[in-house]
């Protein structure tokens, strides 16, 4: 049986966190541990998510734009790459996986 893929989302933070200077967050689940990590810049959040993904392969990093659309995705390990449509999001639909 193949190992379950860990998925990390890099997304804009909520209004309350943004007011405190935290603009981006990394969210994911590592086994039973829920990861919710704040970052000031999108680059910092992507770098952190990629480090986590490399430590917990197979994994995927999904980067969202400010409006929630998926900008890009990175895969690590033997996990197959799934397009946004394969994850259940209809073409042209706004939002993301949350």
Bridge partner residues of 60 (DSSP): 7, 75
Q: Quote the pLDDT of residue 49.
A: 96
Instruction: Retrieve residue 27's tokens.
Output: 């969210």
Instruction: Retrieve residue 53's tokens.
Output: 């993904």
pTM exceeding 0.85: no
Starting from the edge strand earliest in sequence, which strands make up the sheet with 70-76, in order? 33-39, 24-30, 6-12, 59-64, 70-76
pLDDT per residue, tens digit, the chain (98 aa), is 456 889 999 999 877 666 667 799 999 987 788 888 999 999 999 999 999 999 988 999 999 998 889 999 999 987 555 555 545 544 444 444 44
Q: Quote the pLDDT of residue 90.
A: 44
Q: Quote the pLDDT of residue 96.
A: 44
């Amino acid at each position: 049986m193949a190992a379950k893929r860990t998925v990390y989302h890099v997304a804009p933070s909520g209004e309350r966190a943004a007011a405190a200077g935290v603009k981006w967050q990394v969210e994911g689940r590592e086994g039973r541990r829920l990861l919710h990590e704040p970052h000031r810049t999108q680059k910092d959040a992507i770098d952190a998510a990629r480090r986590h993904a490399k430590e917990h392969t197979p994994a995927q990093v999904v980067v969202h734009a400010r409006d929630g659309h998926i900008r890009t995705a990175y895969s690590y390990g033997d996990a197959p790459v799934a397009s946004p449509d394969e994850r259940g999001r209809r073409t042209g639909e706004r939002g993301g996986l949350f």
